[in-house]
Structure 1
């Protein structure tokens, strides 16, 4: 049992690296990059990295990543959230530079592309969570109130990001993209189910999550 626990940690971390790294590597090898501008390429990869960060967030909040204490998991969750906002800003800014009219259509929900409204909705949900997280203490949001606000927004972020990604036919390889999206959904569903269980049973682990 001890050997399994010691071996499990690198396996979990390795699987996470592969889950994010493989789609990025395959996208980097896409032939479509030959016809893309550098700014567009940077914007596209910022979007791919953002999706990878969306996968990391529920893993941190659920305590599924080994060798991370509850405190370190919370801190990492906050920092990853900031990195996610930055990645989205780079993604949007790059697309704006390459095609302002398309971005105006997307931001005003008038774009003919089916993936745009899902991405924009997820973006605003991410910004809302980040804004409220920064003002959480000033607003005096209690843990229960924070969960009531944060969890629905997190669901919007995950659902919008996954649908946005799946509908785009771009540089990402199809199978690895679908696998990453499936992992994002699975991790989110897992932590949502576990959060409900913890709240009922009031286990120590649940109490740690309740203080997020």
Structure 2
């Protein structure tokens, strides 16, 4: 194999990974845009719904960034992008809930008080609060003097709750999201988050097992 051919392989691999991620994110959005259920929805409700889909898609991006699985994103750069995507995630959740509040305040109040008759609302609210708690812990981490290991464990636990709650929330809703693309997004988000959880559990053990340099 020549040097040129060897150099092309990482570029092709990077192209395939980024293309696959782009498709996984855009296909559910495009499919939702052509949903017949949008015909009688208010514009605010539509924006709120798409904000929820965007937030869901960002949940897949986050573990891929922090795990170093996206080509071209160095460790430092990935952490910065991870932080920026986290801010976008919070804003998307706020837009999702805020839009639903504008269209139907009683339903949102029932959901926030965990007395909604629809089970998907409870899971959505749990995921929402987990997102907010994660953001607050990230902002006040230094002031709270949270140790790196404690932060890692809390962050992973919250991430698992966020993804699990969001996946159940999405699967229970028969809305504008197309079934197959939604299922693929759910599976990938769970798989990526679980992979990071396992890696973060194994990494300290590997570090402890390495021989110390003299």
- Considering only CA atoms, is the larger Rg found in Structure 1 or Structure 2? 2
> By the TM > 0.5 criterion, same fold?
yes
8 Å contact from structure 2 (residues 47, 99) kept in 1: yes
Paired with 2:140 and 2:207, the residues of 1 have a C-alpha distance of: 27
Could you tell which deviates more after superposition, 28-37 or 135-144? 135-144
2:136 aligns to what? Answer: 131
5 Å matches for 1:2-13? 2-13=7-18
2:168 aligns to what? Answer: 163
8 Å contact from structure 2 (residues 63, 196) kept in 1: yes
Structure 1 spans left out of the alignment, 5+ residues: 204-212
Structure 1-normalised TM-score? 0.93
Q: Does 1:199 align with 2:204?
A: yes
Paired with 1:2 and 1:191, the residues of 2 have a C-alpha distance of: 28
Structure 2 spans left out of the alignment, 5+ residues: 1-5, 209-214
What secondary structure does 2:69 align onto? coil
Shift of the alpha carbon at 1:197? 2.3
Paired with 2:203 and 2:153, the residues of 1 have a C-alpha distance of: 15
Shift of the alpha carbon at 1:52? 0.2
1:74 to 61, 70, 79: 79
Shift of the alpha carbon at 1:139? 1.2
Query: Deviation string for 1:24-70 (max 9, x for gaps)?
Result: 00000111101100000000000000000000000011010011110
Shift of the alpha carbon at 1:10? 1.2
Shift of the alpha carbon at 1:12? 0.5
Query: Deviation string for 1:117-171 (max 9, x for gaps)?
Result: 0000000000000011010111111211211221111110010010000100000
5 Å matches for 1:26-105? 26-105=31-110
Give the count of matched residue pairs: 203
Paired with 1:21 and 1:105, the residues of 2 have a C-alpha distance of: 32
2:3 aligns to what? Answer: none
Paired with 2:207 and 2:72, the residues of 1 have a C-alpha distance of: 23
1:208 aligns to what? Answer: none
8 Å contact from structure 2 (residues 160, 194) kept in 1: no
Shift of the alpha carbon at 1:202? 2.0
1:107 to 112, 118, 123: 112
